[in-house]
């Protein structure tokens, strides 16, 4: 399949999803979202384990940022450095934002949980675009993607404050890349790094969503809430992203080597 045909497949799928979502009625935030299976206070901390389980985000984010900045080849990563750094910054801020939200779970504090997550999502998506499609496209898309991600969260927060909550824009930002990335990996494989780590990141994302959905069921079985486990599982996406970055072949010019043309 020629490159342009594969690109058209991505474009058509994106347009279909965007158009479909806008035919869906506005989706307000479920008030029950703020009720977690493990709401116990420990050491004076409300929802203690849901708060403390965000520490791995901060630790892995800091380690990833430091390692990626100081110890990886500048030549092979020069054109990809910004999305990598922003991904780990977003991971660190997710730890603080999510801890703040779980300390006092409301729609207002949920803003600070979702905002840094979208930063990491969009930086990761920019990295994938740059490595699998076109370096110039990935670099050019980074800041618009981060802006769109942040805007989706502020838009949701604003609509909730106005009494007509609408999660559709945020849902697009969160789930469209997750739908497109597997397709990009399959249609535009490259030989510059070990793509298995990206698949593992996608697997962790799915697992985290399942843990969140079955929060109470997991708590009744394990006496540890699904939401607590979700934070730990999601944080380890940073480890696999770092391994993906670390596996980048040391090409002097950092060019993309597509597995097929």
> How do residues 210-229 score in pLDDT, each as one tens digit?
999 999 999 999 999 999 99
Pick the CATH number of 49-246 from 3.40.250.10, 1.20.1070.10, 1.10.630.10, 1.10.30.50: 1.20.1070.10
Take residue 261 and report the two structure tokens written for it: 């043309």
- Predicted confidence at residue 73, as pLDDT, reads 61
> How do residues 81-104 score in pLDDT, each as one tens digit?
889 999 999 999 999 999 999 999
Measured between alpha carbons, how far is 234 from 242 in angstroms, rounded to an integer? 14
Q: How many residues does the chain have?
A: 261
Measured between alpha carbons, how far is 238 from 25 in angstroms, rounded to an integer? 34
In Å, the largest CA–CA distance within the chain is: 60
pLDDT category at 252 given cuts 50, 70, 90 is very low
User: How far lies 135's CA from each of 167, 183, 185, 257, in Å?
Assistant: 31, 18, 15, 11
Q: Where are the domains of the chain?
A: 49-246
Q: Is 46 left (phi over 0), alpha (psi -120 to 50) or beta?
A: beta
- Predicted confidence at residue 116, as pLDDT, reads 97
pTM, two decimals, is 0.90
According to the per-residue pLDDT averaged within each range, which of 135-139, 184-188, 253-257 is highest? 184-188
């Amino acid at each position: 399949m020629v490159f342009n045909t594969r690109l058209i497949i991505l474009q058509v799928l994106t347009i279909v999803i965007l158009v479909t979502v806008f035919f869906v009625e506005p989706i307000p935030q479920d008030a029950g979202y703020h009720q977690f299976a493990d709401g116990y206070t420990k050491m004076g901390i409300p929802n203690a384990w849901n708060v403390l389980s965000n520490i791995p985000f901060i630790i892995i984010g800091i380690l990833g940022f430091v390692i990626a900045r100081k110890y990886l080849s500048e030549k092979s990563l020069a054109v990809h450095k910004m999305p990598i750094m922003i991904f780990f910054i977003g991971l660190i801020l997710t730890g603080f934002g999510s801890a703040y939200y779980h300390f006092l779970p409301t729609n207002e504090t949920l803003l600070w949980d979702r905002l840094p997550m979208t930063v990491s999502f969009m930086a990761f998506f920019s990295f994938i675009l740059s490595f699998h499609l076109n370096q110039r496209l990935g670099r050019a898309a980074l800041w618009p993607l981060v802006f769109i991600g942040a805007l989706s969260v502020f838009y949701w927060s604003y609509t909730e404050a106005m009494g007509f909550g609408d999660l559709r824009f945020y849902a697009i930002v969160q789930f469209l890349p997750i739908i497109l990335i597997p397709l990009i990996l399959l249609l535009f494989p490259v030989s510059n790094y070990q793509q298995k780590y990206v698949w593992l990141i996608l697997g962790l994302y799915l697992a985290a969503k399942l843990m969140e959905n079955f929060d109470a069921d997991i708590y009744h079985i394990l006496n540890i809430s699904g939401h607590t486990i979700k934070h730990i599982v999601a944080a380890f996406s940073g480890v696999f992203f770092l391994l993906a970055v670390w596996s980048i072949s040391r090409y002097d010019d950092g060019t993309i080597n597509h597995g097929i043309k």
